[in-house]
Structure 1
């Protein structure tokens, strides 16, 4: 987990340095969950789900176009379908896991933000890493100094106590999440509870929780008849999964780009392929000789799996 703050607490325009220290520590954790964890970062998970969704739909569309292709082979179709549903639903399940243990999920991130909402004040939001609170004063000073030096092109700082433009953007964004108008700004303004409630509603209504519960019965665990009864009329479809992914991405965007004023994916959710994703698909999967070898291997592997049962009775009752 990286500590990406450029300015020490002493250079931050915040009165209560202890509270700012707590905010920065929590913000580092929250950003780690969203962006930086090497295995389970929320954005990495969502973007992988988006990639898989687009790839699966592209391949299955080609496979169902009517032309005879290798994609219509039963083994290929089975591998594609089973792999898609298993990986996507388990990823959805992880993102909505609401446990309080050492897990990373959208649900836990939202719960932790709500539990520490008192730290999400205007001065922390704007000034947590060296920006000035009173951007108008700094802007006036910078403009006056610039004119005194003869005018011309101006290069405004983007960080530190002279970065009035960055501070202004922070205030304007916090106006939205706090729902406080610009003429009523106070240092101790807090993020509006309705902002977090709206995001929580998006998460609750995303359809992801239902997929997670279904996976507990059919995928992650082997649910018995009673557990399965609750899902007797529940159909898991590609469209249902795609919609859940879209909604989870919206929740992550709201938390990262707006609540934390950190990272977003606006217009860049789908990764840009660094290769031709359809390269080689115009050719056959295997040659005639490879098919013959594959059949031999199929029989060998089948016999080996069958043989694992041959000695059960002997080993059990000898």
Structure 2
């Protein structure tokens, strides 16, 4: 989805004129990061995570079906294709999400960009980046003074934006308290804690994430780089654990560090019955002979690729 424009121009934000240029840079950084996370690109980080969690949910449900009906015969070639397909999709997908290359659309790249510009993330910028007042108590007093006396005792709407939105200003202060550098005195210039970035990087560099990435690199993409005797094949529990770590870091960066949307749910709501026709045979017995004929014709046509005589002719 497109990233919303800011409601208030920089010069209407509660930031000293000498720091308005820094605020503009902070807003550009924030918008860039949000565009990577939930922007309109098909490969946005959110889309990548939703697709991976959907595929994981479907695969594990099918795998559970095999456990529930362990005595039921399943075509081995079909099941191996499903297993291998999911392993490739999951490992390569997680590998993309933690890629540090500057051109990649990954949560690792977003995290590194934020860390490189952490000098812009002060309490003042975090609270006041789009029109909120830094002094939440004064903002609340202004709101109360401006209310209609006839509204007393009645339900009323309270603004969540602008200089009189004291409740949201207080909420931003509370959030920043949890990520601030506690060694510095609370105030407009108090910076974000560098330990936050170290902690998030450590999560994305955890042993289980590295194992899944190594599997993507040295089992699927470049098996020739695999060292002899080094186990790099992650199991499905480790793949799910790695995907959970990536999702949790993304949620924290989006909802907390960038004060934006949070995932309501990771797995998309099915638009139909996920298990419809799962109780049906893949093909009827009467079709097996026709499939055998198709298989023979297909393999014969692929074998024609082995004829290289035409490559020697001009």
Equivalent position of 1:96 in the other structure = 98
In structure 2, runs of 5+ residues without a counterpart are none
By how many angstroms is 1:313 displaced? 4.7
5 Å-filtered alignment, 1:115-194, equals 115-146=116-147, 148-149=149-150, 151-153=152-154, 154-180=156-182, 185-194=186-195
2:283 to 276, 281, 286: 286
Contact 2:3 2:34 (C-alpha < 8 Å) held by counterparts = no
Equivalent position of 1:68 in the other structure = 72
The secondary structure found in structure 2 opposite 1:308 is helix
Contact 1:120 1:190 (C-alpha < 8 Å) held by counterparts = yes
Equivalent position of 1:48 in the other structure = 51
The secondary structure found in structure 2 opposite 1:44 is helix
TM-score normalised by length of structure 1: 0.89
Q: Does 1:299 align with 2:296?
A: yes
CA distance in 1, matches of 2:124, 2:78: 56
Q: Could you list the per-position Cα deviations for residues 206-241 of structure 1 after superposition, in whole angstroms to 9, with x for gaps in the alignment?
A: 522232233222212242xxx321662233211111
In structure 1, runs of 5+ residues without a counterpart are none
Deviates more, 1:107-116 or 1:283-292: 283-292
1:59 to 62, 70, 78: 62
Equivalent position of 1:241 in the other structure = 239
Contact 1:216 1:222 (C-alpha < 8 Å) held by counterparts = yes
Note the aligned Cα RMSD (angstroms). Answer: 2.3
Q: Could you list the per-position Cα deviations for residues 156-203 of structure 1 after superposition, in whole angstroms to 9, with x for gaps in the alignment?
A: 10111221111111111011111549xx53111111111111111111
Q: Does 1:85 align with 2:87?
A: yes
Deviates more, 1:102-111 or 1:231-240: 231-240
Instruction: Identify if the C-alpha distance between structure 1 residues 240 and 231 changes in structure 2 by more than 3 Å, giving closer, same or farther.
Output: farther
Q: Does 1:27 align with 2:24?
A: no
Q: Does 1:312 align with 2:308?
A: yes
